[in-house]
Amino acid sequence: MSALREKIARLISTQGPMDISRYMTMAMSDPQYGYYNTAEPFGRSGDFITAPEVSQMFGEIIAVWAIATWQGLGSPGPFALCEAGPGRGTLMDDILRTGAKLAPQWLACARPVLVETSPRLVKIQQEKLSSHPVKPQWIENLDGLPQIPLLLIANELFDVLPIRQYAACKGGFRERMVSLSREGSLCFSLGPVEAAPAPAKKMPSGTIVEISPARLALARQISRHLARHKGAALIIDYGALEPGVGDTLQAVSKHGFCGPLKNPGGCDLTSHVDFAALAEAAHSAGCQTAAMTQGAFLLKLGLLERADRLGAGGNEALRRQVTADTERLAAPDQMGELFKILCIASPPANAPPFHWEPAPTQQSPEQRHPEQQH
């Protein structure tokens, strides 16, 4: 048994079953044995590969978005260029490099901020970004953001934030918990019957509903900053744009799936992101939202043109690699459709390439709750 599995088993045997949210938090972030503090998950040789690690073109297109969005805001002077959950720092590296080339004025106003909880990854990011003349700031959570306009990017962060699962049953819902089997291995069990965890329609017994207070809290915090100081955020992840049900908890190791309870701390634990719930949180904080697939976003902002230019400078092998990377990022059967991009923006939103409907709530939270005004 791994050391972390033993630690979790000991806790369960003394305190009883733990909810999935606590299990995920321990598996991913335990200071001693947590996945992000011990493993080297990213890249072709790791457990999974993320879009910025597939190709520099991903970060280049995000930079184009950030420059155009800043201009759409009226080029408001200094702004926080924030990446939340930056992994190896590759995306920020590509954004800063592209900004220096395409828009030095934009870069001169950018205050790069990286939000990271893993001390091990902070070191890797610091090294990666050390050659840029603009010196980034590292913070552990968004409370440390400077009170200025914000452009924020979060790629594959929300899927790692913990969830809770509930199974529909006669008379309500039962929370899915992590317990110990008679043989002493980790297994799922169900807690006592309780009321619906979120507004839920009637559904067949056994249907799993997932909620993530941690994701909603983060979306709310980003949105409040945007509503107050202006700006926009891109939340990029896999999941559905429409609300849905079902068990999406998954564990990935060496580019393949394994059981979520098999090897806590040894594989990446994630679940699909409920974008509709994040959009609702953003609206209630006074922001507008729009969404599209990753494929559509990249193509609309010029991925194919960029790939042509990049390929034109190299040999046949490079051209083949660029074509493969382009397909990996944008083809519908690869990352193009599974991954979605939710844009949250302060009203009146004007961030390309999204189509902006008038906001469902055009009022600021203060206008809607005058009794809370000070």
Footprint of ligand SAH on residues 66-85 (CB under 6 A)?
Answer: 84-85
Counting residues that bind ligand SAH (by CB under 6 A) gives 18
Are the beta carbons of 115 and 85 closer than 8 angstroms? Answer: yes
Q: Can residue 117 be called a binding residue for ligand SAH (CB under 6 A)?
A: yes
Query: Measured from the CB of residue 218, what is the shortest distance to ligand SAH in angstroms?
Result: 7
Q: Can residue 297 be called a binding residue for ligand SAH (CB under 6 A)?
A: no
Query: What are the tokens at 268?
Result: 């990446």
Q: Which is nearer to ligand SAH, 117 or 207 (CB)?
A: 117
Q: Which is nearer to ligand SAH, 156 or 210 (CB)?
A: 156
Residue selected from 9, 67, 107, 121 as contacting ligand SAH according to rule CB under 6 A = 121
Residue selected from 152, 160, 219, 277 as contacting ligand SAH according to rule CB under 6 A = 160
Rounded distance between C-alpha atoms, residue 21 and residue 164, angstroms: 5
Are the beta carbons of 67 and 99 closer than 8 angstroms? Answer: yes
Residue selected from 55, 69, 98, 155 as contacting ligand SAH according to rule CB under 6 A = 155
Query: Measured from the CB of residue 36, what is the shortest distance to ligand SAH in angstroms?
Result: 4
Residue selected from 50, 248, 293, 346 as contacting ligand SAH according to rule CB under 6 A = 50
Options 117-125, 222-230, 273-281, 347-355: segment touching ligand SAH (CB under 6 A): 117-125
Q: What is the largest CA-CA distance in the chain?
A: 66
- 211 closest CA partner among 248, 245, 275, 165: 165
Residues 6+ apart with CB under 8 A from 305: none
Q: Which is nearer to ligand SAH, 29 or 207 (CB)?
A: 29
Q: Can residue 337 be called a binding residue for ligand SAH (CB under 6 A)?
A: no
Rounded distance between C-alpha atoms, residue 279 and residue 219, angstroms: 8
Residue selected from 23, 33, 36, 106 as contacting ligand SAH according to rule CB under 6 A = 36
Q: How far is CA 204 from CA 167, 195, 319, in A?
A: 10, 15, 51
Rounded distance between C-alpha atoms, residue 79 and residue 136, angstroms: 12
Are the beta carbons of 301 and 65 closer than 8 angstroms? Answer: yes
Residue selected from 67, 152, 157, 261 as contacting ligand SAH according to rule CB under 6 A = 157
Q: Can residue 33 be called a binding residue for ligand SAH (CB under 6 A)?
A: no
Q: Which is nearer to ligand SAH, 86 or 265 (CB)?
A: 86
Query: Measured from the CB of residue 85, what is the shortest distance to ligand SAH in angstroms?
Result: 3
Options 59-67, 110-118, 281-289, 298-306: segment touching ligand SAH (CB under 6 A): 110-118
Q: Which is nearer to ligand SAH, 87 or 295 (CB)?
A: 87
Residue selected from 63, 115, 124, 178 as contacting ligand SAH according to rule CB under 6 A = 115
Query: Measured from the CB of residue 283, what is the shortest distance to ligand SAH in angstroms?
Result: 23
Options 111-119, 205-213, 301-309, 330-338: segment touching ligand SAH (CB under 6 A): 111-119
Q: Can residue 61 be called a binding residue for ligand SAH (CB under 6 A)?
A: no
Options 149-157, 171-179, 250-258, 322-330: segment touching ligand SAH (CB under 6 A): 149-157
Rounded distance between C-alpha atoms, residue 120 and residue 125, angstroms: 9
Options 15-23, 98-106, 114-122, 255-263: segment touching ligand SAH (CB under 6 A): 114-122
Q: Which is nearer to ligand SAH, 96 or 349 (CB)?
A: 96
Query: What are the tokens at 74?
Result: 């009226």
CA atoms within 13 A on the CB side of 329: 29
What value, to the nearest 5°, has the Cα angle with vertex 90 and ends 89 and 91? 95
Are the beta carbons of 243 and 274 closer than 8 angstroms? Answer: yes
293 bridge partner residues: 340
Rounded distance between C-alpha atoms, residue 346 and residue 348, angstroms: 6
Which parts of this chain interact with ligand SAH (CB under 6 A)? 36, 42, 50, 52-53, 84-87, 115-118, 121, 155-157, 160
